[in-house]
Amino acid sequence: MTIEIMRTTSAAAPSDVGGLADAVLVDLARQGREDAVRTLIQRHNRRLFRVARGRVRDYAEAEDIVQETYVRAFTHLTTFRGAAELATWLTRIAMNEALGRLRRRRPRADLAELEDAGADDTRVIPFPTAPAGPEAETSRAEARRLLEQCIDALPGHLRLVLILRDVEGLSAEATAAQLGIRPETAKTRLHRARRRLRDALAVRLPGGFADLFPFGGTRCAGMADRVVLRLRRDAAGSET
């Protein structure tokens, strides 16, 4: 069932919804409030992008997965009952979308790579902070690229745990619930992933994990624009 977001959105509708809880925003989105839709998108963009990017290892495809995730979520928002947190529900949709693309891309992909991605659904490793300045910024960008490459090289079942725990900052319990595994398994995989990453990196790198796989600024706002446009088209198409 397509929610007619654009038809029930008034130009005079209040737009100061940034401080509202997800549950309230979901109710407003069901009523067709575009500002609620945009707020939810911008609030959850980063996690969804990091999870998608960690699975498919491609920026453009990860961004496309995030867009498709939101379109599916808002198209079927009436089916969201609140049994899990909205972030968990959205992440499951993103992971399933990424898994489907991996299967289409590699029908005979290694089972260990796929089983973790298709499951139902804190510490950040510290790095010394470089001083401010153009040279330091360049150094941080280079370090971030190297970190991302090393994370990409991890096996999928380790890579997703590392991203959810150390990049996104989820607890072991939340990570386990998100991936449909036991907390002990999540902790074991995180330990193995960190050890492999340390072996690949060396302690000399500046910067930190908080800057990895960024998704903000105009890219974040642009995602909301594209999703709203898709929802407009879908709503119009459902009436023809």
For residue 185, the model assigns a pLDDT of 95
pLDDT at 214 over 50: yes
CA dihedral 36, 37, 38, 40 (to 10 degrees): 80
- pLDDT tens profile 74-120: 999 988 988 889 999 999 999 999 999 988 876 544 444 444 444 33
What's the token pair of residue 140?
């941080």
* C-beta of residue 77 within 8 angstroms of C-beta of residue 3: yes
Q: What is the mean pLDDT of the chain?
A: 79
- pLDDT grade, residue 5 (50/70/90)? low
For residue 59, give Cα distances in angstroms to 42, 141, 212. 18, 16, 12
Q: Which range, 53-62, 64-73, 189-198, has the best average confidence (pLDDT)?
A: 64-73
| Domain layout of the chain by residue ranges | 22-238
For residue 141, give Cα distances in angstroms to 9, 135, 146, 211, 218. 41, 10, 9, 9, 19
| pTM tops 0.75 | no
